[in-house]
Chains A and B, each alone.
Chain A
Amino acid sequence: MTAKAPVRSAPAPRRTTPAPRRRRSTRRGPLHPATWAPTTVLVLVLGLIWSAIATEHPYILPELSEVGLALVDRPEVFLTNAWTTLSIALAGVACGAGTAFVLALVMSEVPVVRRALMPLAVVLNVTPVVALAPGLVLAFGFGMTPKVVVTAIITFFPVLINVTTGLRAVPPSVLHVFETLHASRAEVLWRARILYGLPYTFAALRVVMPLSIVGAVVAEFVAAGSTGGLGTMIRNAASTARLESVYAAIACLAAMGVLMLALVTAVERRVLFWHESQRRAST
């Protein structure tokens, strides 16, 4: 085939035809079947498999209808326990992520602190927090404190690492402009570093918010004698073989995780309207 000649003579009409874009860039709304149908079909199939197993072996999985009934029968029980777990998770995130954020700021400004803390933070990260939990319960008693501490430790490291990276993500040319203006370190930190670090901070929060629920539930499992929370509820229900309550509580936890993620994403979309990651959503 003589490929060269037609390509050379045809640049003008080529530019006017939008044909190659059409297929890929079609964006469908959330109501379009192509958006929701695949997941729906998959959920239905999984539901059928679940039902089949539940009918055969009621000690492996409860009937879905029973799970639903458990939720509908005593919604206030699930709501109060969910609130207990949620407040532990949120308090843990506030403490853990907050401390990590402040430490990351200090570490970015004072290299000695960075050199001193980073190895310890890494060790803390590789230590299984589940293993720490019993000791923390002994130390802090059976109230909320040990659970918040466990959650805080779990959420600490991802935030520390991401914010530390983010604070260094300022383009050199921007730093040069600040430098020729003789901006102080505090001004560079406040007007450039923290804001350039925000996308990294939000990425950490998206990881850490659901993780905080994991922390809270694990802490409730371990803290013998704790009276509230979905983790306690799961442990107690499992010990008396009330599978439908176990799975109802798990469904609540999943819903909480989804809500937290949705919240972070919504805030992120508003705050980071200027960032590449949000561009498609905003224009």
Chain B
Amino acid sequence: MTHPSTDLTDGIRVRGLTKTYAGGDPHRPALESIDLDIGRRRFVSLIGPSGCGKSTLLRVIAGLEDHDAGEVSLFGSTPRALCSAKAIGLVPQAPALLPWRNVRRNITLPRSVNRRAGTGGEDPDDLLRAVGLGDVAHRYPHQLSGGQQQRVAIARAFGMRPELLLMDEPFSALDEFTREALRLQLLVLWQRRATTVVFVTHSVREAVTLSDEVVVMSARPGRVHEVLPIDLPRPRDASVVTGPRMHALEDRVRASLQSAWEAGAAPDDLVPL
């Protein structure tokens, strides 16, 4: 699979992004001068210690939060404009399903709001089959397992054929076995639909398994520490995921995280800012 190299008008472009939370220390912004380029149809993970601002960065890209300085350009457009065109799919940490709607109607929720931006999208039944939930289409969220709920949330986000898919630690509440299965399922879905994905995670393994690039962030203030390319072949089947190259890359990301942590976790008076 060949990816177009990072053309600046045709991808996500973040320049000098700085954000301080209201009431936060102005000398310690949540995000400080973030520069980031993500090519169209790339799968990019944000990883870093807690407090490094990876979720904040995701929310800024989603247009859910304002920023103080810098610019965010999504395919030459603004986050807000992309939202009003229903071109951003969000998968939050909690599945965020509406408990009074059954699985199928949860998946079709995006078409029933903001109808001006269109009511099209993928056929919900095809989508349900693709995530292996065809037989629970008429169940309600409380009748599903945590893994099934998160699959519904992923299907809902894919259903609108978004240009950009933002995922905020979607698997963090699941057990390791379910996570592993869902990662592979996500990859299958993504490869068929080829959308740009920004994926926030705590898990090194998850980041390396899924991504084309891993963005390692450091905390206090939140900065991009390093961007590591993951040049594993796709599709990433079992032989790739268990191979020696995979382990080498995991170690590489871990080492980067370690130095990011040391950069961000040192006591105040020792950090020359």
Q: Give the interface of A toward B (CB within 8 A).
A: 171, 173-174, 176-184, 187, 191-192, 195, 273-276, 279
Looking at chain A's contact residues, is the secondary structure mostly helix, strand, loop, or mixed?
helix
Contact with A along B90-106 (1 / 0, CB 8 A): 10111110111000000
Given that A187-B113, A274-B142 are known contacts, is A173 also in contact with B93, CB under 8 Å in the complex?
yes
11 more contacts with CB within 8 A, not counting A180-B166, A181-B110, A182-B114, are: A171-B96, A173-B96, A176-B59, A176-B92, A179-B63, A180-B64, A180-B83, A182-B83, A273-B140, A274-B99, A274-B142
Task: Decide yes or no whether B40 CB sits under 8 A from chain A.
Answer: no
A181 to B64, CA, bound (A): 11
22 pairs from A and B in contact (CB 8 Å cutoff): A171-B94, A173-B92, A173-B93, A173-B96, A177-B92, A177-B96, A177-B156, A179-B62, A179-B83, A180-B62, A180-B63, A180-B90, A182-B117, A183-B113, A184-B113, A191-B98, A191-B109, A191-B112, A195-B98, A273-B140, A274-B99, A279-B142
Q: For the complex, what is the distance from the CA of A273 to the CA of B98, rounded to whole Å?
A: 13
Distance in Å: Cβ of B76 to nearest Cβ of chain A:
18
CA distance A184 to B113 in the complex (A): 8
Whether the Cβ atoms of A183 and B114 lie closer than 8 Å is: yes
Complex CA–CA separation, A140 to B83 (angstroms)? 54
A179 and B113 CA atoms in complex are apart in Å by: 10
Q: Are B100 and A274 in contact (CB under 8 A)?
A: yes
The one of B113, B117, B140 in contact with A274, judged by C-beta atoms closer than 8 angstroms, is: B140
Q: Is the CB of B99 within 8 A of A275?
A: yes
Scoring B residues 23 to 55 as 1 if CB is less than 8 Å from chain A, else 0, what string do you get?
A: 000000000000000000000000000000000
B86 at the interface (CB under 8 A from A): yes
In angstroms, how far is the closest chain B Cβ from the Cβ of A164?
21
Pick the contact of A184: B89, B90, B98, B114 (CB < 8 A): B114
| Docked CA distance A237–B86 (Å) | 69
Residues of B close to A177: CB separation below 8 A: 90, 92, 96, 156
**How far is it, in angstroms, between the C-alpha of A176 and the C-alpha of B89 when the chains are bound?**
11
A187–B84 Cα gap in the complex (Å)? 14
Among A187, A195, A279, the residue within 8 A (CB) of B100 is: A195
State whether A181 and B140 are in contact (beta carbons under 8 Å apart), knowing that A173-B93, A173-B96, A274-B99 are contacts in the complex.
Answer: no
Partner of A176, one of B62, B84, B109, B140: B62
Of all chain A residues, the one with the shortest Cβ separation from B63 is A180
Instruction: Give the shortest distance, in Å, between A74 (CB) and chain B (any CB).
Output: 47
B63, B114, B117: most-surrounded residue (chain A CB, <10 A): B114
From B64, B85, B95, B141, contact of A179 by CB (8 A): B64
Q: A171 — which chain B residues lie within 8 A by C-beta?
A: 94, 96
Contact indicator A181/B86 (Cβ below 8 Å): yes
Is there a chain A Cβ closer than 8 Å to B72's Cβ? no
Inter-chain contacts of A273 with B (CB < 8 A): 140
Known: A181-B83, A279-B142. Is A176-B90 also a contact (CB below 8 A)?
Answer: yes
Compute how far the CA of A29 lies from the CA of B88 in the bound complex, rounded to whole angstroms: 51
Q: Which single residue of chain A is at the shortest CB-CB distance from B62?
A: A180
Q: Which of B63, B92, B140 has the most CB of A within 10 A?
A: B92
Q: What's the minimum C-beta distance from A125 to chain B, rounded to whole angstroms?
A: 31
Tell me the bound Cα distance from A274 to B99 in angstroms. 6
Closest to A183 in B: B113
Give B113's nearest chain A residue, CB to CB.
A183
Docked CA distance A274–B250 (Å): 42
How far is it, in angstroms, between the C-alpha of A195 and the C-alpha of B90 when the chains are bound? Answer: 22
Measured CB to CB, the closest approach of chain B to A175, in angstroms, equals 9
The residue in chain A whose Cβ has the minimal distance to the Cβ of B111 is A181
Enumerate chain B residues within 8 angstroms of A191, measured Cβ to Cβ: 98, 109, 112-113
- Measured CA separation A176–B65 after assembly (Å): 10
Write the chain A residue with the least CB distance to B156. Answer: A177
Centre residue among A174, A195, A273 by max chain B CB count within 10 A: A174
Chain B residue contacts of A178, Cβ below 8 A: 113
CB-based nearest B residue for A192? B98
**Nearest 7 Cβ contacts at the A-B interface:** A173-B92, A173-B96, A183-B113, A274-B99, A182-B84, A180-B90, A182-B83
CA distance A191 to B108 in the complex (A): 13
Chain A residue nearest to B91 in the complex (CB) = A177
Q: Which residues of A contact B156 (CB under 8 A)?
A: 177
- Residues in B74-88 with C-beta less than 8 Å from chain A: 83-86, 88
CA distance A273 to B101 in the complex (A): 11
User: Which residues of A have CB within 8 Å of B117?
Assistant: 182
Which A-chain residue is minimally distant from B157 (CB atoms)?
Answer: A177
**Across the interface, which residues of A come within 8 angstroms of B86, CB to CB?**
181-182
CB-CB under 8 A from A192, the residues of chain B are 98
A195 vs B62: C-alpha distance when bound (angstroms): 25
